[in-house]
Amino acid sequence: MDGKNMNTHALQQTIDRVAAAFSRLKGIEEGLVGEDAGRGIQFDEWDWEVGVGLYGFLRRALAANDKVALDDLVDWYAMQIGRGLPPRQINSTAPMLPLAILIEHVDRPDFEALVQDWADWLVKSLPKTEGGGFQHVVKERLNEGELWDDTLFMAALFLARAGVFFDRKDWVDEAVHQFMIHARYLSDPVSGLWYHGWTFKGRHNFAKAFWARGNAWITVAIPELFFLVPGLEAKDKRFLSHVLQSQVASLKAFQRPDGAFHTLLNDPTSPTETSAAAGIAYGILRGIEAGILDAADKVHADRALAAVLSEIDDEGVVHGVSDGTPMGHDLDFYRKIPNLPTPYGQALVLLLLTDVLVAQGDTA
């Protein structure tokens, strides 16, 4: 499949197939949208993979003025809140980003109260690193003193949008600070690429891995911040624009002729990785839309899109996605991570395909 030659109907069909496969990988019968699967959001688990998928779902619903889809989202969040949410940490914050946008379109004081309370928890109670960085706490471990590159998408974007809605400049400032401190310790000034993580215990970047999916989270997070915070200060926009431009310049250089990326961006012996290609393509498209990147960069997003589409089978399953990747202490760790279908692979592809659909201007 070639993304440039897909009409709206074919693209919507692909989205429906990927969404249905996403649902099957989560062990349930129905998912996001699609006439064959039925309406409604049936994801049982509240986690970061679902949060990424729901963000794309919400973007599509708002672009199409799809009130039924918005009602589906309301029902899902009400169900989750009603039965009790899981412990708060970085990854469980991801579903809060769509909720922080949804409250702008529905009258739900209970949703607003949850957004306020969760944002306040991030600022006051989440463990912080030296310099006030969001410690990458996950359900498996505290990761004391550690900064990870996916924290910005999973938690900082939510805090920024909550700050806009509630007119809490201190929350917006805190979210921007997270971008700054993560850039300070994770962004390589030579290449512009981002390391997977940093630890203040020993003060090093672990394996110094330019991990592809981790870089993709940055390519996505920076332009999303620009859209989520329309009043972002000029000095912050200037700095973050340079960070993204520098990163994308290297990403373009390391992109394969077929549009794919290796799981270690600068190591052609490492496997290619589809979720990274999806995130990078989406981030480039959003960077262009935000006025950060040049329109000529779209050719690289189109190539990555073509690589992603070639990894989607007839059942909508996305292949070539690296398994869950904790922090590696040597580069061989990343080379040995197996590729297999994953819910987050489906979610990142949904985010990309939804953006392409919205850009076509016909999302009904």
One digit per residue, pLDDT tens: the chain, 364 residues?
555 567 888 999 999 999 888 878 875 544 444 444 444 666 778 999 899 989 988 998 898 899 998 999 999 999 999 999 999 999 999 999 999 999 999 999 999 999 999 999 999 999 999 999 999 999 889 999 999 999 999 999 999 999 999 999 999 999 999 999 999 999 999 999 999 999 999 999 999 999 999 999 999 999 999 999 999 999 999 999 999 999 999 999 999 999 999 999 999 999 999 999 999 999 999 999 999 999 999 999 999 999 999 999 999 999 999 999 999 999 999 999 999 999 999 999 999 999 999 888 754 4
In the DSSP assignment, the letter for residue 348 is H
Q: Which CATH topology does 3-360 take?
A: Glycosyltransferase (1.50.10)
In the DSSP assignment, the letter for residue 340 is -
Residue ranges of the domains in the chain?
A: 3-360
Q: Please write the tens of the pLDDT for every residue from 33-73.
A: 444 444 466 677 899 989 998 998 899 889 889 999 899 99
Q: Please write the tens of the pLDDT for every residue from 210-269.
A: 999 999 999 999 999 999 999 999 999 999 999 999 999 999 999 999 999 999 999 999
Q: What is the distance of C-alpha 277 from the center of its chain?
A: 12
Measured CA distances, 191 to 38, 216, 250, 254 (Å)? 47, 15, 6, 11
pTM: 0.94
Sequence-distant (6+) residues with CB within 8 A of 11 are: 353, 356, 357, 360
What is the SS3 assignment for 248? Answer: helix
